């Protein structure tokens, strides 16, 4: 039996998984630092609402759950570093940070990546107009800001967030002109039967659907927005049937919220050299982990939605199990204690996993859309690369995403392919017949996001710059 190793642990991400993991690790006796880019813990689901939202948004479990989470964190010995982002890391897991005091580094330690999910966007003609936002972005604006994206909204995309956002619009007194769902109606019916394993989700989903039906909102299944045109008062949106493109509907709205599910955020894990795989059901790249979040890197664990999209309840359980696993791996607890501590969470996890896996095809329902993009549709917003440019490069011989990136600049912008990678991969697989694994992913690079020049250079006057003496004449 080796001596316990209570060296520091750094948790990246202050959502439900990361915060739960950090608190549990501190209880096991580890010095824990929790890093999050938001000013308070909570992540996307439990994000701390603004004072205005507290007054205008009806009380909900996100507010109460987030408040309870933040109270537990405040009562723990966890060292928190909010408003701080990780912009790079070394092979030894030295973390490069930027926060209120500028650029900083954390020395190598055990790292828990719990930085959650990224929303998946699939382009259409006109999608770059400011009146079109993501489903997750619209949800944050309403739930945490108490503000509608528009008085009349078309909600489009796939996955449970589609109906959640529509419900939020009604809660704040807005109007939903239409719900455009890429999934099959039958898939939702099968999910409804599965939700008996998760009564909390079943109750919530039932209340949403009853209110949406009562409002008389038209719901188009197996459909997507094919074009968006700006008008003097908002948008004119064409909705096309995915199986019968000739069937179309036109709606006028002030704004549109559109997103096609979620995918794990993988920039950090890819940079660290962790093994990844493509999940065919979710349609995304995810790090290879065991049930406790262990990866191919011995000092790096991944938990919550960063390990695969499963939802809030599973994220909390994953965060707890990961903390217990680190304690066992570092000799802080015995294998028997680990088994005792994780018996109930693992049992709950197995039950909820069945429901979560059933949701993944619904979130990935728009996977066929990129193959049918109009040539003039912008795929890469950062570099303004159109579908026709990508198709020309593929015809010229580009067979993977990085070759496509080198030839077209698609994915070279500040978002590093977060918004365009799925569409570019879809075009590649449709044209070449290769698998998503063969198409690959854009190579991650540092910094992970644009850094302000002043953070790198510091503050100085021109007179502070040492200048060499002039050369003799």
> Tens of pLDDT along 9-58?
999 999 999 999 999 999 999 999 999 999 999 999 899 998 998 988 88
The CB density around residue 270, as the number of other CB atoms within 10 Å, is 16
Residue 1 has pLDDT above 60, yes or no: no
Domain boundaries along the sequence of the chain: 9-118+263-361, 121-260, 369-439
pLDDT number for residue 218: 95
CB 84 within 8 A of CB 97: yes
CA atoms 42, 47, 52, 54: torsion sign: negative
pLDDT band at 371 (very low <50, low <70, confident <90, very high): confident
pLDDT tens-digit series, residues 166-220? 999 999 999 999 999 999 988 877 776 666 667 777 777 777 788 888 899 999 9
The class level of CATH for 369-439 reads mainly alpha
The torsion angle over the Cα atoms of residues 81, 87, 88 and 94, rounded to 10 degrees, is -10
Across the chain, what does the average pLDDT equal?
A: 92
- For every residue of 347-384, DSSP letters joined together read HHHHHHHHHHHHHHHHHTTTTTGGGG--TT-EEETTTT
pLDDT at 321 over 90: yes
How far is Cα of residue 162 from the mean position of the Cα atoms in its chain? Answer: 15
The pairing of beta strand 378-380 with beta strand 117-119: unpaired
Same fold, 9-118+263-361 and 121-260: yes
Q: Which CATH superfamily is domain 9-118+263-361 in?
A: FAD/NAD(P)-binding domain (3.50.50.60)
- Of the CATH numbers 2.60.40.1220, 3.20.20.210, 3.50.50.60, 3.40.50.300, which one belongs to the domain with range 121-260? 3.50.50.60
Residue 11's DSSP bridge partners are: 34, 112
- Rounded Cα gap, residues 256 and 131, in angstroms: 6
Strand order in the sheet with 110-113: 79-81, 32-35, 9-12, 110-113, 300-302
Q: Rounded to an integer, what distance in angstroms lies between the CA atom of residue 135 and that of residue 195? A: 23
Closest CA relative to residue 29, chosen from 364, 266, 326, 355? 326
């Amino acid at each position: 039996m080796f001596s316990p190793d209570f060296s520091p642990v750094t948790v990246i991400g202050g959502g439900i998984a990361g915060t739960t993991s950090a608190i549990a690790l501190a209880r096991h006796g580890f010095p824990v630092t929790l890093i999050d880019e938001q000013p308070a813990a909570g992540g996307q689901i439990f994000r701390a609402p603004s004072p205005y939202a507290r007054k205008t948004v009806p009380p909900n479990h996100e507010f109460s759950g987030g408040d309870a989470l933040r109270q537990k964190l405040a009562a723990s010995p966890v060292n928190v570093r909010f408003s701080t982002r990780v912009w790079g890391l070394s092979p030894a897991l030295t973390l490069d940070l930027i926060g209120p005091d500028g650029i900083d580094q954390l020395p190598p330690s055990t790292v828990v990546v719990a930085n959650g999910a990224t929303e998946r966007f699939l382009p259409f003609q006109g999608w770059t107009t400011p009146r079109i936002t993501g489903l997750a972005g619209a949800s944050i604006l309403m739930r945490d800001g108490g503000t509608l994206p528009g008085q009349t909204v078309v909600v489009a995309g796939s996955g449970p967030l589609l109906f959640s956002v529509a419900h939020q619009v009604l809660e704040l007194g807005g109007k939903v002109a239409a719900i455009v769902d890429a999934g099959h109606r039958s898939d939702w019916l099968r999910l409804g039967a599965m939700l008996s394993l998760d009564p909390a989700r079943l109750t919530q989903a039932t209340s949403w659907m009853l209110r949406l039906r009562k409002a008389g909102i038209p719901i188009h299944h197996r459909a997507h927005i094919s074009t968006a045109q700006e008008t003097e008062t908002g948008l004119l949106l064409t909705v096309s049937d995915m199986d019968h493109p000739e069937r179309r509907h036109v709606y006028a709205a002030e704004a549109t919220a559109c997103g096609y599910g979620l995918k794990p955020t993988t920039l950090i894990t890819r940079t660290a050299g962790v093994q990844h795989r493509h999940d065919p059901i979710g349609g995304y790249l995810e790090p290879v982990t065991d049930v406790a979040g262990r990866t191919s890197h011995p000092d790096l664990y991944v938990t919550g939605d960063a390990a695969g999209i499963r939802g809030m309840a599973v994220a909390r359980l994953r965060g707890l199990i990961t903390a217990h696993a680190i304690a066992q791996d570092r000799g802080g607890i015995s294998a028997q204690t680990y088994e005792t501590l994780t018996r109930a969470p693992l049992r709950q996890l197995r039950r909820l996993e069945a429901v979560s896996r059933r949701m993944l095809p619904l979130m990935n329902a728009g996977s066929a859309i990129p193959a049918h993009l109009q040539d003039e549709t912008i795929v890469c917003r950062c570099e303004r690369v159109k579908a026709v440019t990508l198709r020309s490069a593929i015809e010229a011989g580009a067979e993977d995403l990085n070759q496509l990136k080198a030839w077209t600049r698609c994915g070279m912008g500040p978002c590093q392919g977060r918004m365009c990678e799925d569409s570019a991969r879809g075009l590649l697989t449709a044209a070449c017949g290769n698998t998503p694994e063969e198409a690959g992913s854009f190579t991650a690079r540092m910094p992970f996001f644009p850094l302000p020049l002043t953070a790198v250079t510091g503050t100085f006057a021109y007179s502070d710059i040492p200048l060499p003496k002039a050369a003799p004449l």
